[in-house]
Amino acid sequence: MKEILENLFEHNRLDFNQSKKVLLEIASNKYSNSEVASFITVFKMRNPSIEEMEGFRDALLELCVKINFDDFDTIDLCGTGGDGKNTFNISTISSFIVAGSGFKVTKHGNYGVSSNCGSSNVLESLGVKFSNDESHLKKCLQYSNICYLHAPLFHPSMKNVAPVRKDLGFKTFFNLLGPLVNPTKPQSQITGVYNLEIARLYGYIFKNTNKNFSIIYSLDGYDEISLTNEFKLISNKEEIISDASYFKLNKVDPKDILGGKTVKESADIFLKILSGKATETQMNVVLANSSLAIRTLTGKNIDECYSIAKESLDSGKAYNSLKKLIEI
């Protein structure tokens, strides 16, 4: 590790093979916590390169619990976290709206990073059972159109890194890797990121795959379409800067999309939205994100996708998808 660190401290970058190798070695507990912390900190001072990210990604996918979903056409809705905005669980709620629309969702998530309550926190509190058993996950997908992949169950090799990340107390490149290492390898993906440079990085990485993808970044710092400002969209179909008018909606106030201060408050917001009892602003934000996910998956125009998402929410199909997932 000393040689690797000295090379990085001289502002050099790792190639694909070096990146993959060092992460495999970190996962095998080859290095001390101090060495791992030094390595992680390098990428706090600069973002990883494309080759470094692809090497890190392939290492984690090689080590993860394997799930074969080749028979399903699926989508993942997720974000890097780390935007510090403490919104409610927009991408997770949107996942159920997409599932209620009849599409298969393999949602990959974890406990909170940039909010008080991540997707795993709220779903666990609502009674969703976490599992890495392939047959259970397929049953979820067939019965409710969605399965939830709690990241630590699929990336057990990363338990060695967890204490270091916790002690450091800041977001690391592992936050960036989360959306790239869904074990089901979904064919479509919508991913929110917390700055424009990361959006560009993701764009180059996804363009090297055969995925349908949309990368979103709200120009005021949200890692999702917040409707609070303009957003940047990079996809395999287009690259644009737009705003709420893209969905024929109005701009919203940031305070109207804040999340709960506790897991219970977050779960209450979650259920209110899915049951159609939330504020118009909350509903519009999740419908905007859901409709873009459907567009990513189907290629249909955004107005049609918005109508599909709205029907899922208004009819109760999105809420039923959650209820079915809890039952399994």
pLDDT at 69 over 70: yes
Q: How far apart are the first and last CA of the chain?
A: 45
pLDDT at 9 over 90: yes
Per residue in 218-243, pLDDT (tens digit) is 999 999 999 999 999 999 989 999 99
Output the pLDDT for position 113: 57
* Inter-residue contact 313 to 276 (CB < 8 Å): yes
pLDDT at 116 over 70: no
Distance (Å, whole) CA 14 – CA 24: 14
Per residue in 178-198, pLDDT (tens digit) is 899 999 999 999 999 988 999
Confidence of residue 36 (pLDDT cuts 50, 70, 90): very high
Output the pLDDT for position 245: 97
pLDDT at 34 over 70: yes
Distance (Å, whole) CA 166 – CA 163: 5
Percent helix, strand, coil in the chain (nearest 5)? 55, 10, 35
pLDDT at 205 over 70: yes
pLDDT at 114 over 60: no
Provide φ and ψ at 108, rounded to 5°.
-105, 125
64 three-class SS: coil
Please give the single-letter amino acid code of residue 310: K
pLDDT at 52 over 90: yes
Domains contained in the chain, CATH given: 2-63 (1.20.970.10), 74-327 (3.40.1030.10)
Q: β-strands 231-235, 212-218: how paired?
A: antiparallel
Average pLDDT over residues 130-138: 96
Per residue in 241-250, pLDDT (tens digit) is 999 999 999 9
Distance (Å, whole) CA 86 – CA 113: 9
Distance (Å, whole) CA 86 – CA 73: 31
The token duo for 183 is 């074990």
pLDDT at 217 over 60: yes
DSSP string, 1-57: -HHHHHHHHTT----HHHHHHHHHHHHTT-S-HHHHHHHHHHHHHSPPPHHHHHHHH
pLDDT at 12 over 80: yes
pLDDT at 82 over 80: no
* Inter-residue contact 182 to 147 (CB < 8 Å): no
Number of H helices, E strands in the chain: 15, 7
DSSP string, 204-261: HHHHTSS-EEEEEEETTS-SS--SSS-EEEEESS-EEEE-GGGGT-----GGGGB--S
Output the pLDDT for position 171: 79
Neighbouring residues of 90: CB distance < 8 A, sequence distance ≥ 6: 224, 226, 257, 285, 286, 289
Check: pTM over 0.75? Answer yes or no: yes
Confidence of residue 302 (pLDDT cuts 50, 70, 90): very high
DSSP string, 275-316: TT-S-HHHHHHHHHHHHHHHHHHH---HHHHHHHHHHHHHHT
* Inter-residue contact 274 to 322 (CB < 8 Å): yes
Share above pLDDT 70 across residues of the chain, in percent, rounded to a whole number: 99
pLDDT at 80 over 90: no
**Counting beta carbons within 10 angstroms of the beta carbon of residue 162, is it exposed (0 to 12), middle (13 to 18) or buried (19 or more)?**
exposed
Quote the mean pLDDT of the chain.
93
Share above pLDDT 90 across residues of the chain, in percent, rounded to a whole number: 83
Distance (Å, whole) CA 187 – CA 104: 11
Average pLDDT over residues 50-65: 96
